[in-house]
A = this chain, B = another copy of it.
């Protein structure tokens, strides 16, 4: 039951992120114990799913007593939300906050450049938050709190912002004059499709991300139809 933060090198990057996440969300120091609870919870939730995850296992993996978890998070569900809500915010942050990640705000020369930058940016984000994203996707259908977030943020703020961007490029003639919702859906499908295959379905395959992204953006813009 030792707690050796030095050992698990594979998680270093994610730890960094968890720290970031907490700094961001709370602006107050997070105890090492709380951190190891979060890390353990992320692992167990991702591996077993929220319902099937036992707080006893989380405690054990975190190297703390079971009661300690409940000092920080009153219920198991609150622990879930503490992990997942900030990530949800960060996931859509580029669409919501100006000058946040810079991806959407730097005036891109072209739609193509914009799409490439965006894909690369989100790929990096999901890669660094893979487990949390898995948990998030799994639990959205069962957690009203998350559904609400989704509705309020994605369907109201994000869609509006993305619509603006899309119509901007439409006006410039870089995007064809088709219904904006269909364009958005199609574009996001291609991007998300790549992320899923890349990170979840076939993560172990060798990937040349730059080339794949370029290819995908090319498909988005020109399709896969032949000369006919």
Is residue A194 contacting chain B, with contact meaning CB distance below 8 A?
Answer: yes
- Give chain A interface residues in 56-104, CB to chain B under 8 Å: none
Tally of contact residues, A, Cβ under 8 A: 44
Which B residues are CB-close (under 8 A) to A192?
Answer: 189, 193
- Kindly report how many copies of this chain are found in the complex they form together: 4
Near B by CB (< 8 A), chain A positions 162-215 give: 170, 172-176, 178-179, 182-183, 185-190, 192-194, 197, 212, 215
Chain B residues with CB under 8 Å of A175's CB are 224-226
Query: Are the C-beta atoms of B215 and A179 separated by less than 8 Å?
Result: yes
Report Cα–Cα, A111/B223, bound state, in Å: 13
Chain B: minimal CB distance from A65 (Å): 14
Q: Name A's interface SS.
A: helix
Question: Residues of B contacting A193 with CB < 8 Å?
Answer: 185-186, 188-190, 192-193
* Of A9-17, A32-40, A46-54, A122-130, the one with at least 4 CB within 8 A of chain B: A46-54
Interface residues of chain A, those whose CB is within 8 Å of chain B, are 48-52, 111, 134, 138, 141-142, 170, 172-176, 178-179, 182-183, 185-190, 192-194, 197, 212, 215-216, 218-228
